[in-house]
Amino acid sequence: MMISLFPLTIAAMTVAAPLPRPVEPSPVLHIENEPARLAAKPGNKWAGGTPLAHARSGDMPGRGLPMPHALNTRTLTVRSADGRILNPGTDYVINGIYSTLGPGSSPSVSASDTVNVSYDVGQRRLDSVIRLPDGKLILRQGNPSLTTAALPPLLSGETRVGNYYLDFFATPADADWFPITATAADAPTRTAARSLDRTLKKLRDGQSVRIVCWGDSITHGGDASSPDKRYPSVFSARLRERFPSAQIEVTTVAVGGSQSRQWLHPEKFPHSTAPQACRFERVIENRPDLVTVEFLNDAWMTAKHVDEIYAEIRDRLHAVGCEVLFITPNFTMPEMMGSPDLRAPDNRPYVRALKTFAETNGLALADVSARWENLWREGIPYIVLLKNGINHPEDRGYAIYADELLKCFAAR
Protein backbone atom coordinates (compact mmCIF):
# COMPACT_ATOMS: atom_id res chain seq x y z
CA MET A 1 0.00 0.00 0.00
CA MET A 2 1.31 3.45 -0.94
CA ILE A 3 0.22 6.41 1.14
CA SER A 4 0.10 9.51 -1.06
CA LEU A 5 1.15 12.70 0.63
CA PHE A 6 -1.91 14.50 -0.60
CA PRO A 7 -5.09 13.51 -2.44
CA LEU A 8 -4.24 14.21 -6.05
CA THR A 9 -5.02 13.16 -9.57
CA ILE A 10 -2.66 13.70 -12.46
CA ALA A 11 -4.05 16.63 -14.38
CA ALA A 12 -3.94 17.12 -18.13
CA MET A 13 -0.76 18.85 -19.18
CA THR A 14 -2.59 21.31 -21.42
CA VAL A 15 -5.24 23.66 -20.12
CA ALA A 16 -7.86 25.52 -22.08
CA ALA A 17 -7.49 28.77 -20.19
CA PRO A 18 -4.65 30.73 -18.58
CA LEU A 19 -3.80 29.55 -15.09
CA PRO A 20 -5.19 31.70 -12.30
CA ARG A 21 -2.44 33.19 -10.17
CA PRO A 22 -2.16 34.16 -6.51
CA VAL A 23 -3.30 37.69 -5.75
CA GLU A 24 -2.21 37.94 -2.13
CA PRO A 25 1.40 37.94 -0.88
CA SER A 26 2.59 35.50 1.74
CA PRO A 27 1.52 36.80 5.16
CA VAL A 28 3.84 38.75 7.43
CA LEU A 29 3.51 38.92 11.20
CA HIS A 30 4.84 42.06 12.89
CA ILE A 31 6.20 41.62 16.41
CA GLU A 32 6.59 44.70 18.59
CA ASN A 33 8.87 44.94 21.64
CA GLU A 34 9.44 41.26 22.31
CA PRO A 35 11.53 40.99 25.50
CA ALA A 36 14.78 39.08 25.09
CA ARG A 37 18.32 38.85 26.39
CA LEU A 38 21.28 38.89 24.03
CA ALA A 39 23.35 35.73 24.35
CA ALA A 40 26.83 36.12 25.78
CA LYS A 41 28.25 34.23 22.79
CA PRO A 42 27.26 34.17 19.13
CA GLY A 43 25.31 31.17 17.92
CA ASN A 44 26.65 28.33 15.80
CA LYS A 45 24.09 27.87 13.04
CA TRP A 46 20.82 26.97 14.83
CA ALA A 47 22.47 26.32 18.19
CA GLY A 48 23.11 29.17 20.62
CA GLY A 49 22.60 32.84 20.06
CA THR A 50 19.28 34.48 20.91
CA PRO A 51 16.34 32.94 19.02
CA LEU A 52 13.31 35.15 18.54
CA ALA A 53 10.14 33.66 20.00
CA HIS A 54 7.92 34.10 16.93
CA ALA A 55 10.60 32.93 14.48
CA ARG A 56 10.91 29.41 15.90
CA SER A 57 9.62 26.16 14.48
CA GLY A 58 7.64 24.90 17.47
CA ASP A 59 3.87 24.77 17.65
CA MET A 60 3.78 27.85 19.85
CA PRO A 61 6.03 30.93 20.22
CA GLY A 62 9.25 30.30 22.09
CA ARG A 63 9.48 26.60 21.19
CA GLY A 64 11.44 24.75 18.55
CA LEU A 65 14.58 25.67 16.64
CA PRO A 66 15.10 29.05 14.99
CA MET A 67 13.33 28.93 11.63
CA PRO A 68 15.79 29.56 8.77
CA HIS A 69 15.11 32.65 6.64
CA ALA A 70 11.87 33.51 8.47
CA LEU A 71 13.22 36.81 9.85
CA ASN A 72 13.14 39.99 7.76
CA THR A 73 16.41 41.45 9.00
CA ARG A 74 15.67 44.87 7.47
CA THR A 75 12.76 45.34 9.87
CA LEU A 76 14.61 44.36 13.04
CA THR A 77 15.05 46.97 15.77
CA VAL A 78 16.55 46.30 19.20
CA ARG A 79 16.00 48.74 22.06
CA SER A 80 17.44 48.82 25.54
CA ALA A 81 15.12 48.80 28.54
CA ASP A 82 15.14 52.61 28.59
CA GLY A 83 14.12 52.81 24.91
CA ARG A 84 17.52 53.51 23.35
CA ILE A 85 17.93 52.01 19.88
CA LEU A 86 20.92 49.67 19.84
CA ASN A 87 23.39 49.62 17.00
CA PRO A 88 23.73 46.57 14.75
CA GLY A 89 27.32 45.41 14.49
CA THR A 90 28.54 46.97 17.72
CA ASP A 91 25.69 46.13 20.12
CA TYR A 92 24.43 43.00 18.39
CA VAL A 93 24.77 40.94 15.22
CA ILE A 94 22.10 39.13 13.23
CA ASN A 95 22.32 35.64 11.81
CA GLY A 96 20.05 36.17 8.83
CA ILE A 97 19.97 32.51 7.86
CA TYR A 98 19.04 31.10 11.26
CA SER A 99 17.06 34.09 12.55
CA THR A 100 19.07 34.60 15.74
CA LEU A 101 20.87 37.47 17.48
CA GLY A 102 24.30 37.52 19.07
CA PRO A 103 26.57 39.99 20.85
CA GLY A 104 28.21 42.69 18.77
CA SER A 105 31.84 43.76 18.73
CA SER A 106 31.41 46.18 21.64
CA PRO A 107 27.94 45.76 23.18
CA SER A 108 26.54 48.43 25.47
CA VAL A 109 24.21 45.91 27.11
CA SER A 110 25.10 42.71 28.92
CA ALA A 111 23.70 39.21 28.66
CA SER A 112 21.70 39.85 31.83
CA ASP A 113 19.97 42.97 30.47
CA THR A 114 16.50 42.72 28.95
CA VAL A 115 16.14 44.28 25.52
CA ASN A 116 13.02 44.75 23.41
CA VAL A 117 13.05 43.45 19.86
CA SER A 118 10.69 44.45 17.04
CA TYR A 119 10.71 42.55 13.75
CA ASP A 120 8.72 41.03 10.93
CA VAL A 121 8.50 37.26 10.54
CA GLY A 122 7.21 35.60 7.39
CA GLN A 123 4.96 32.67 6.66
CA ARG A 124 4.82 30.24 3.74
CA ARG A 125 1.75 29.30 1.74
CA LEU A 126 0.66 26.83 -0.92
CA ASP A 127 -2.16 27.87 -3.26
CA SER A 128 -3.69 25.27 -5.58
CA VAL A 129 -4.99 25.57 -9.11
CA ILE A 130 -8.03 23.31 -9.15
CA ARG A 131 -10.13 22.04 -12.03
CA LEU A 132 -13.82 21.97 -11.17
CA PRO A 133 -16.11 19.22 -12.46
CA ASP A 134 -17.26 21.55 -15.27
CA GLY A 135 -13.65 22.09 -16.40
CA LYS A 136 -13.25 25.60 -15.02
CA LEU A 137 -9.94 26.42 -13.34
CA ILE A 138 -9.94 28.23 -10.01
CA LEU A 139 -7.32 29.22 -7.46
CA ARG A 140 -7.83 28.05 -3.88
CA GLN A 141 -5.62 29.63 -1.25
CA GLY A 142 -3.96 27.46 1.38
CA ASN A 143 -3.50 28.22 5.05
CA PRO A 144 -0.19 29.97 5.74
CA SER A 145 2.35 28.49 8.12
CA LEU A 146 5.73 29.42 9.51
CA THR A 147 6.91 25.86 8.94
CA THR A 148 4.92 23.27 6.99
CA ALA A 149 2.36 24.83 4.67
CA ALA A 150 -0.54 22.50 3.86
CA LEU A 151 -2.53 22.29 0.65
CA PRO A 152 -6.10 23.54 0.53
CA PRO A 153 -8.57 20.64 0.47
CA LEU A 154 -10.28 19.28 -2.62
CA LEU A 155 -14.04 18.96 -2.84
CA SER A 156 -15.87 16.12 -4.54
CA GLY A 157 -15.15 15.91 -8.26
CA GLU A 158 -12.29 18.41 -8.18
CA THR A 159 -8.80 17.80 -9.55
CA ARG A 160 -5.62 19.50 -8.41
CA VAL A 161 -3.62 20.74 -11.42
CA GLY A 162 -0.65 22.14 -9.51
CA ASN A 163 0.44 24.39 -6.68
CA TYR A 164 1.95 27.82 -6.28
CA TYR A 165 4.54 28.08 -3.54
CA LEU A 166 4.94 31.43 -1.82
CA ASP A 167 8.05 31.50 0.34
CA PHE A 168 8.68 33.93 3.18
CA PHE A 169 7.95 37.53 2.12
CA ALA A 170 6.98 36.47 -1.41
CA THR A 171 4.76 38.66 -3.59
CA PRO A 172 2.25 37.16 -6.03
CA ALA A 173 4.79 37.76 -8.79
CA ASP A 174 7.30 35.62 -6.86
CA ALA A 175 4.95 32.62 -6.63
CA ASP A 176 6.74 29.46 -7.81
CA TRP A 177 4.58 27.15 -9.95
CA PHE A 178 4.76 23.39 -9.33
CA PRO A 179 2.55 21.55 -11.84
CA ILE A 180 1.55 18.01 -10.88
CA THR A 181 3.09 15.66 -13.42
CA ALA A 182 3.59 12.49 -11.34
CA THR A 183 2.40 10.60 -8.27
CA ALA A 184 4.37 8.97 -5.49
CA ALA A 185 4.07 5.65 -7.31
CA ASP A 186 5.91 7.13 -10.31
CA ALA A 187 9.07 7.96 -8.35
CA PRO A 188 12.11 6.15 -9.84
CA THR A 189 13.56 4.81 -6.60
CA ARG A 190 16.25 2.17 -6.15
CA THR A 191 14.41 0.50 -3.29
CA ALA A 192 15.11 -3.24 -3.35
CA ALA A 193 14.44 -6.19 -1.02
CA ARG A 194 17.79 -7.91 -1.39
CA SER A 195 18.97 -10.46 1.20
CA LEU A 196 15.85 -10.33 3.37
CA ASP A 197 14.89 -13.96 2.74
CA ARG A 198 14.82 -15.14 6.37
CA THR A 199 12.81 -12.19 7.63
CA LEU A 200 10.33 -12.40 4.75
CA LYS A 201 9.85 -16.13 5.26
CA LYS A 202 9.09 -15.65 8.94
CA LEU A 203 6.60 -12.90 8.17
CA ARG A 204 4.84 -14.94 5.48
CA ASP A 205 4.77 -18.05 7.67
CA GLY A 206 3.18 -16.14 10.56
CA GLN A 207 6.16 -16.50 12.89
CA SER A 208 7.63 -14.11 15.45
CA VAL A 209 9.83 -11.39 13.94
CA ARG A 210 11.97 -8.85 15.74
CA ILE A 211 13.00 -5.68 13.91
CA VAL A 212 15.22 -2.89 15.23
CA CYS A 213 15.07 0.56 13.64
CA TRP A 214 18.52 2.02 14.34
CA GLY A 215 19.51 5.61 13.68
CA ASP A 216 19.64 9.24 14.70
CA SER A 217 16.97 11.86 15.45
CA ILE A 218 15.08 10.98 12.26
CA THR A 219 14.58 7.41 13.47
CA HIS A 220 13.79 8.77 16.94
CA GLY A 221 11.05 10.83 15.31
CA GLY A 222 12.21 14.38 15.95
CA ASP A 223 9.36 16.88 15.41
CA ALA A 224 6.72 14.25 14.63
CA SER A 225 3.35 15.40 15.95
CA SER A 226 2.94 12.29 18.12
CA PRO A 227 4.80 9.00 18.76
CA ASP A 228 2.52 7.07 16.41
CA LYS A 229 3.56 9.37 13.52
CA ARG A 230 7.26 8.48 13.82
CA TYR A 231 8.31 6.36 10.89
CA PRO A 232 9.14 3.21 12.92
CA SER A 233 5.61 3.36 14.37
CA VAL A 234 3.96 3.91 10.98
CA PHE A 235 6.08 1.14 9.43
CA SER A 236 5.27 -1.23 12.30
CA ALA A 237 1.51 -0.65 12.04
CA ARG A 238 1.46 -1.13 8.29
CA LEU A 239 3.67 -4.22 8.45
CA ARG A 240 1.21 -5.79 10.91
CA GLU A 241 -1.63 -5.00 8.51
CA ARG A 242 0.21 -6.77 5.71
CA PHE A 243 1.19 -9.80 7.81
CA PRO A 244 -1.64 -10.16 10.36
CA SER A 245 -0.63 -13.70 11.38
CA ALA A 246 2.96 -12.78 12.29
CA GLN A 247 4.00 -11.62 15.76
CA ILE A 248 5.93 -8.48 14.87
CA GLU A 249 8.02 -6.53 17.35
CA VAL A 250 9.56 -3.27 16.11
CA THR A 251 11.95 -1.51 18.49
CA THR A 252 13.55 1.90 18.01
CA VAL A 253 17.19 2.28 19.02
CA ALA A 254 18.17 5.85 18.17
CA VAL A 255 20.01 8.86 19.57
CA GLY A 256 19.57 12.37 18.21
CA GLY A 257 22.70 13.91 16.75
CA SER A 258 24.51 10.59 16.47
CA GLN A 259 26.51 9.18 13.58
CA SER A 260 26.96 5.49 12.83
CA ARG A 261 30.65 5.49 13.69
CA GLN A 262 29.85 6.76 17.19
CA TRP A 263 27.95 3.52 17.80
CA LEU A 264 30.66 1.34 16.30
CA HIS A 265 33.61 3.05 18.04
CA PRO A 266 32.35 5.21 20.92
CA GLU A 267 35.83 5.29 22.44
CA LYS A 268 37.17 7.07 19.35
CA PHE A 269 34.11 9.13 18.42
CA PRO A 270 32.12 9.81 21.61
CA HIS A 271 28.71 11.42 21.31
CA SER A 272 28.82 14.91 22.83
CA THR A 273 25.76 14.55 25.08
CA ALA A 274 24.81 10.84 25.20
CA PRO A 275 28.01 8.78 24.95
CA GLN A 276 26.60 5.90 27.01
CA ALA A 277 23.51 5.60 24.83
CA CYS A 278 25.47 5.14 21.60
CA ARG A 279 26.51 1.53 22.11
CA PHE A 280 26.24 -1.00 19.31
CA GLU A 281 25.34 -3.65 21.87
CA ARG A 282 21.96 -1.93 22.29
CA VAL A 283 21.18 -2.57 18.62
CA ILE A 284 21.69 -6.33 18.81
CA GLU A 285 21.01 -7.15 22.46
CA ASN A 286 17.56 -8.65 21.74
CA ARG A 287 18.80 -10.67 18.77
CA PRO A 288 16.69 -9.02 16.07
CA ASP A 289 15.98 -10.74 12.78
CA LEU A 290 16.41 -7.47 10.91
CA VAL A 291 18.01 -4.08 11.56
CA THR A 292 17.09 -1.03 9.50
CA VAL A 293 19.85 1.59 9.36
CA GLU A 294 19.17 5.33 8.93
CA PHE A 295 21.78 8.01 9.55
CA LEU A 296 21.11 11.39 8.01
CA ASN A 297 24.01 12.56 10.16
CA ASP A 298 26.35 10.40 8.06
CA ALA A 299 25.78 12.76 5.11
CA TRP A 300 29.33 14.10 5.52
CA MET A 301 30.75 10.77 4.35
CA THR A 302 32.63 10.19 1.13
CA ALA A 303 32.32 6.95 -0.82
CA LYS A 304 35.47 5.71 0.93
CA HIS A 305 33.91 6.29 4.35
CA VAL A 306 30.71 4.51 3.30
CA ASP A 307 32.58 1.50 1.97
CA GLU A 308 34.57 1.15 5.19
CA ILE A 309 32.01 2.03 7.85
CA TYR A 310 28.98 0.41 6.26
CA ALA A 311 30.92 -2.76 5.54
CA GLU A 312 31.63 -2.93 9.27
CA ILE A 313 27.93 -2.43 10.01
CA ARG A 314 27.05 -5.24 7.61
CA ASP A 315 29.67 -7.58 9.03
CA ARG A 316 28.73 -6.94 12.66
CA LEU A 317 25.05 -7.55 11.98
CA HIS A 318 25.61 -10.63 9.85
CA ALA A 319 27.94 -12.05 12.50
CA VAL A 320 25.02 -12.28 14.94
CA GLY A 321 22.51 -13.48 12.36
CA CYS A 322 20.79 -10.15 11.60
CA GLU A 323 19.68 -9.15 8.14
CA VAL A 324 20.13 -5.48 7.28
CA LEU A 325 18.13 -2.86 5.39
CA PHE A 326 19.81 0.48 4.68
CA ILE A 327 17.80 3.69 4.26
CA THR A 328 18.78 6.75 2.23
CA PRO A 329 17.80 9.93 4.12
CA ASN A 330 15.32 12.71 3.45
CA PHE A 331 16.28 16.06 1.96
CA THR A 332 17.42 18.88 4.25
CA MET A 333 17.47 22.68 4.01
CA PRO A 334 18.84 23.98 0.67
CA GLU A 335 22.10 25.19 2.21
CA MET A 336 22.82 21.63 3.35
CA MET A 337 21.74 20.11 0.04
CA GLY A 338 24.16 22.38 -1.82
CA SER A 339 21.53 23.99 -4.04
CA PRO A 340 18.79 26.62 -3.63
CA ASP A 341 16.78 24.84 -6.35
CA LEU A 342 13.83 22.97 -4.84
CA ARG A 343 13.78 20.79 -7.99
CA ALA A 344 17.45 19.81 -7.89
CA PRO A 345 18.42 16.13 -7.77
CA ASP A 346 20.11 14.66 -4.72
CA ASN A 347 23.82 15.12 -5.40
CA ARG A 348 25.03 14.26 -1.91
CA PRO A 349 28.05 11.94 -2.29
CA TYR A 350 26.92 9.94 0.75
CA VAL A 351 23.56 9.10 -0.79
CA ARG A 352 25.08 8.03 -4.10
CA ALA A 353 27.68 5.93 -2.29
CA LEU A 354 25.10 4.26 -0.03
CA LYS A 355 22.96 3.24 -3.01
CA THR A 356 26.02 1.83 -4.77
CA PHE A 357 27.19 0.02 -1.62
CA ALA A 358 23.82 -1.67 -1.14
CA GLU A 359 23.60 -2.74 -4.77
CA THR A 360 27.19 -3.93 -5.02
CA ASN A 361 26.88 -5.99 -1.85
CA GLY A 362 23.42 -7.35 -2.57
CA LEU A 363 21.83 -5.66 0.45
CA ALA A 364 18.34 -4.26 0.91
CA LEU A 365 17.71 -0.55 0.42
CA ALA A 366 14.78 1.76 1.13
CA ASP A 367 15.42 4.73 -1.15
CA VAL A 368 13.71 7.54 0.75
CA SER A 369 15.93 10.16 -0.87
CA ALA A 370 14.56 9.35 -4.32
CA ARG A 371 11.02 9.84 -3.07
CA TRP A 372 11.90 13.29 -1.78
CA GLU A 373 13.61 14.00 -5.08
CA ASN A 374 10.29 13.32 -6.82
CA LEU A 375 8.19 15.65 -4.67
CA TRP A 376 8.38 18.63 -7.03
CA ARG A 377 6.83 16.48 -9.75
CA GLU A 378 4.00 15.76 -7.32
CA GLY A 379 3.50 19.51 -7.03
CA ILE A 380 5.23 19.82 -3.67
CA PRO A 381 8.31 21.93 -2.87
CA TYR A 382 10.10 19.62 -0.45
CA ILE A 383 10.95 22.44 1.96
CA VAL A 384 7.35 22.50 3.26
CA LEU A 385 7.82 18.97 4.63
CA LEU A 386 10.66 20.04 6.96
CA LYS A 387 9.04 20.78 10.30
CA ASN A 388 12.07 22.53 11.77
CA GLY A 389 13.11 24.03 8.44
CA ILE A 390 16.47 22.27 8.71
CA ASN A 391 16.39 18.48 8.73
CA HIS A 392 13.43 17.02 10.65
CA PRO A 393 10.41 16.04 8.55
CA GLU A 394 6.87 16.48 9.71
CA ASP A 395 4.34 13.66 9.59
CA ARG A 396 3.94 13.58 5.80
CA GLY A 397 7.71 13.36 5.41
CA TYR A 398 7.98 10.52 7.91
CA ALA A 399 5.24 8.62 6.05
CA ILE A 400 7.59 8.46 3.06
CA TYR A 401 10.02 6.40 5.14
CA ALA A 402 7.27 3.89 5.89
CA ASP A 403 6.27 3.84 2.20
CA GLU A 404 9.75 2.87 1.04
CA LEU A 405 10.39 0.40 3.84
CA LEU A 406 7.15 -1.41 3.15
CA LYS A 407 8.11 -1.89 -0.52
CA CYS A 408 10.73 -4.35 0.71
CA PHE A 409 8.09 -6.61 2.28
CA ALA A 410 5.82 -8.01 -0.40
CA ALA A 411 3.12 -10.31 0.95
CA ARG A 412 4.18 -12.96 -1.59
pLDDT tens, residue by residue, 249-261 = 999 999 999 999 9
Instruction: Give me the pLDDT at residue 7, please.
Output: 37
In whole angstroms, what is the distance from residue 247 CA to residue 250 CA?
10
Query: What pLDDT score does 18 carry?
Result: 83
pLDDT of residue 140: 98
- For 171-184, the pLDDT digits (tens) are 999 999 999 999 99
Confidence (pLDDT) at 17: 63
Share of the chain above pLDDT 70, in %: 96
Q: Please state, rounded to an integer, the average pLDDT across all residues of the chain.
A: 94
Q: What is the pLDDT of residue 9?
A: 37
Q: What is the pLDDT of residues 320-332, one digit of tens each?
A: 999 999 999 999 9
Pairing status of strand 125-131 against strand 290-294:
unpaired
Question: Is residue 265 over pLDDT 60?
Answer: yes
Q: Listing from the earlier edge strand, what are the strands of the sheet with 137-140?
A: 137-140, 125-131, 159-166, 176-179
Cα gap 250→401, rounded to integer Å = 15
Confidence of residue 11 (pLDDT cuts 50, 70, 90): very low
Average pLDDT estimate for 180-208: 97
Under 8 Å between Cβ of 311 and 354:
no
Question: How much of the chain exceeds pLDDT 90, in percent?
Answer: 91
Over residues 193-212, the mean pLDDT reads 98
Flag whether pLDDT at 12 surpasses 60: no
- Which band of pLDDT confidence, cut at 50, 70 and 90, is reported for residue 271? very high
Choose among 48, 1, 52: nearest CA to 29.
52
pLDDT band at 204 (very low <50, low <70, confident <90, very high): very high
What is this structure's pTM? Answer: 0.93
Express each pLDDT in 118-164 by its tens digit: 999 999 999 999 999 999 999 999 999 999 999 999 999 999 999 99
* Residue 316 confidence class, pLDDT cut points 50, 70, 90: very high
pLDDT tens for 272-284 read 889 999 999 999 9
Residue 3 above 90 pLDDT? no
Those residues with Cβ within 8 angstroms of residue 206's Cβ, 6 or more apart along the chain or in another chain: 243, 245, 246
Domains and CATH numbers, the chain: 28-122 (no CATH), 185-406 (3.40.50.1110)
Please, which residues have CB within 8 angstroms of residue 114's CB and are 6 or more apart in sequence?
35, 36, 37, 81
Identify which has the larger pLDDT, 218 or 49: 218
Distance from the first to the final alpha carbon of the chain: 14
Average pLDDT of the segment spanning 335-360: 98
Question: Does residue 34 register a pLDDT over 50?
Answer: yes
Dihedral (Cα; 110, 111, 114, 119), 10-degree rounding: 100
